[in-house]
Structure 1
Amino acid sequence: MWNPSRKIRIIASRMLTVLFSLTMIFHVVALFQIIPYQYLWGGRLSSLEEMYVMETVSLLVNGFFLWSSIRYLQYINQGLVPIWIRLVFSFIGFIFLLNTIGNLVAFTNLETLLATPVTAFLSVISFSLVPKYENKTS
């Protein structure tokens, strides 16, 4: 089984930190209606109110993902990544895997073409943080 090195895990968690930060900015932009809600959520939103609910939930969830990425970096720097944070990244990876499938069947080409590779990438990176890590030299 693939067990990424400490360096790979640090790079992956930093990438997730940046990507989740950018995703949160995207959701804020969506909340301010700079992006029409018809282009969000695979074109399945039917009202502005629905968009506010979904984007607020997305912002909160991505905030949790961002917090998890920061915690992972803190743990890896201490030399031991506990199982609970690895389980969180299993969950995050699975969520992004499902999201990738959802993006493939989106009603809008924009979501299919832009979001699918991003969510697939996020899923792979998240799953790379799951294997057990223990720094034997600490």
Structure 2
Amino acid sequence: MNFISKYAIKAFLGLLLAVILFHICIILKIIPYDITWGGRLTNDAEMYVFETISILINVFLSWVLLMKGNLVKFKLSNKVVNGILWIFFAIFILNTIGNLFAKTFFEKFFAILTGLSAILIWNILKEKKTTNR
């Protein structure tokens, strides 16, 4: 694994930690949920469901990144790990486009984070091509 991939994994893990903490702050009502999810959440029950799912997805992505970086003992095959990362890459690209067209500035700001996430995944995935030549 090259330096750029290792750095991208570590940077992305840091970003995911910040995102998980953000979602925890929403659950704890430190951050109001009406400024997230496009303002579509109408009650606390919906917020708890959406935020829990978000946290689980971010923990799953962190676990996949730990496997990609050989930072955990249990590991799925590289093909599976790369497949999962390609799916997340597509999701982050689509999410970036969606955030750019969001109604609130707060959500438009997240286009920066989702775009950065896509760039980091791209750098992690392109490493595979350079090492297999």
TM-score by length of 1: 0.82
1:31-70 equivalent positions in 2, closer than 5 A: 31-70=27-66
Distance 1:33 1:96 in 2: 26
Distance 1:15 1:133 in 2: 21
TM-score by length of 2: 0.85
1:133 Cα deviation from its structure 2 partner? 5.0
Distance 1:40 1:48 in 2: 13
Distance 1:57 1:68 in 2: 16
Q: 1:119 aligns with which of 111, 114, 119?
A: 114
Aligned 8 A contact 1:86 1:129 in 2: no
Distance 1:45 1:64 in 2: 24
Which runs of at least 4 in structure 1 moved beyond 4 Å after TM superposition? 133-136
The one-letter code matched in structure 2 to 1:93 is F
Structure 1 residue runs of 5 or longer lacking an equivalent are 76-80
Distance 1:14 1:53 in 2: 28
Q: Equivalent residue for 2:74? A: none
1:57-96 equivalent positions in 2, closer than 5 A: 57-74=53-70, 82-96=78-92
1:126 Cα deviation from its structure 2 partner? 0.9
1:86 Cα deviation from its structure 2 partner? 1.1
Q: Secondary structure at the match of 1:46?
A: coil
Q: Deviations over 1:30-67 (max 9, x none)?
A: 11111111101122222222111111100000000111
1:88 Cα deviation from its structure 2 partner? 1.3
Aligned residue pairs: how many? Answer: 126
The 10-residue stretch of structure 1 (43-52 or 11-20) with the greater mean CA deviation from structure 2: 43-52
Distance 2:2 2:87 in 1: 21
